[in-house]
Structure 1
Amino acid sequence: MITHPTAQELVAGVAQWLPVDGSASVFGLRVARNALEIAARDMALSPAADARAVVRMRALLGRDGTRVELDAALVEAIRSGTIAPDDPALVAHLKAAALDTIAIDQPKYAHTLG
């Protein structure tokens, strides 16, 4: 679900950034750990979150496609006015997508929004 950086890019970035001479600060190690935890949650949770999003967007748009294709079609439908910004199904989809993202990025906060 994370689009930028991807979980792979997070892991690769941590691997390149961490010093091999043991000179990393406690703060730096915490940052690295947090990035790796986000990547792990993304790999574990994104497939199901993406599948749920595809189901919701198929219903909203009345068409099939991949997550990327449906995301682009949804943006276009909102821009063109085909789907109103206050459409209850759209609002429900956006809320669910936001909660899925928060579960990956900041899981400590997810319970306050659900």
Structure 2
Amino acid sequence: MITHPTAQALVEGVARWLPVDGSASGFALRVARNALEIAARDMALGPAADARAVERLRALTGGDGTRDALDRRLTEMIRAGEIAPDDPALIAHMKACALDSLAIDQPKYAHELG
């Protein structure tokens, strides 16, 4: 299961990291801006990406629940050999998850995987 910091964690991290005395360097300000932009994209795009992932996970696992619970179930099913690592539906799901993550984390990326 691949996770990333939540928008809330990114914003909190920037708030703790930036100095309050105005002594931040240009580099520090660029890092902070990038983190805040990622947080904003996560808030805008994340819910729809999670909803799409849940639908794919329901189809793959035959189960229901939160994305985290369905991700855990999928992991268990792969480990148990119930879903083959080369299953086309699994590969399609992983590719879609990667593209959704790239749209949030690295939107300038070409968004093509092979």
Q: TM-score, normalised by structure 1?
A: 0.93
Residues 21 and 31 of structure 1, relative CA distance in 2, 3 Å threshold = same
Please state how far the C-alpha of 1:18 moved relative to its aligned partner. Answer: 0.9
Aligned residue in 2 for 1:22: 22
CA RMSD of aligned residues (A): 1.5
SS at match of 1:107: coil
CA shift, 1:5, in A, is 2.1
Q: 1:47 to 1:15 in 2, by over 3 A?
A: same
Answer whether contact 2:95 2:113 (CA < 8 A) is retained. no
- Give the aligned partner of residue 73 of structure 1: 73
Aligned positions of 1:1-114 closer than 5 A: 3-113=3-113
Counterpart residue identity of residue 32, structure 2: A
Partner Cα distance (1:70, 1:36) in 2: 29
Residue 110 of structure 1 deviates from its aligned partner by 4.3
The answer as to whether partners of 1:103 and 1:110 remain within 8 angstroms in 2 is: no
Q: Distance in 1 between matches of 2:52 and 2:110?
A: 17
Structure 2 unaligned residues grouped into runs of 5+: none
TM-score normalised to the size of structure 2? 0.93
Aligned equivalents of 1:56 and 1:64: distance in 2?
A: 11
CA distance in 2, matches of 1:45, 1:102: 11
* Ranges in structure 1 where 5+ consecutive residues have no aligned partner: none
Contact preservation (8 Å) 2:7, 2:43? yes
Q: Judging by fraction of residues, say which structure has more helix.
A: 1
2:104 and 2:110 map into 1 onto residues whose CA distance is 9
2:10–2:35 Cα contact (<8 Å) kept: yes
- Distance in structure 2 (CA, Å) of the matches to 1:111 and 1:76: 29
